[in-house]
Copies of this chain bind each other. A is one copy, B any other.
Amino acid sequence: MEPKWRTLSSQTRLKDRWIDVRADRCETPSGVEVNPYYVLSYVDWVHVVALTPEQELVLIRQYRHAAGDWFLEIPGGGVDARDGDIEQAARRELAEETGYTSERWQHVTTLYPNPATHTNRVHTYLAMHAVATLERRLDPGEEGLGTLVMPFDYILNQLAAGILGQAMHVASVTLAARVLARL
């Protein structure tokens, strides 16, 4: 067990429904003080790599304000108090954002979005034989969100070109592809 940093004190700097930033005063094992060290607290996230029976990937197209542009993304979101477990959160996000459902779910991986700054983890699920069965239920501000399907092989071949702009989504999609190759 390697020694960890000690948190000498901690202060909330910005907090509401959408953000939670604290500033910690830390000491490394060799006694160096690191102050302030900002930590962003989030609930865990889920990503869903959903494939239709025709091996198409279920995608959404969404405006992302920090980058100021539209992005092709895989469905996902935050684990919610309503969710009995993490897989349930993945099922709920897929259904709400796309109307697709699946009876064949598999956990792919659990990673950290950014362990330097974010407290949370991101859990990736593979949903096979996904079919459009429900009406979508979008949150306010998501009214321009479009659902589409594209051939999974095409997406994989265009990842380095940036077809999915979000790096964490690329991790989820490539690891799902590796898991699928072994199924």
Contact = CB atoms under 8 A, between A and B. Distances in A.
A119 B32 contact: no
Interface of A: 2, 4-5, 13-14, 16, 18-19, 21, 24, 26, 28-30, 32, 34, 36-40, 63-71, 108-119, 122, 140-141, 143-144, 156, 159-162, 165-168, 170-172, 174-175, 178-179
Contacts of A111: 162, 165-167, 170
A115 B67 contact: yes
Contact of A168 (B30, B37, B71, B114): B114
A14 B21 contact: yes
Nearest to A26: B65
Copies of this protein in the complex: 2
Contact of A170 (B28, B162, B165, B171): B171
A21 B159 CA distance: 30
B160 A108 contact: yes
B21 A19 contact: yes
A68 B5 CA distance: 8
B67 A119 contact: yes
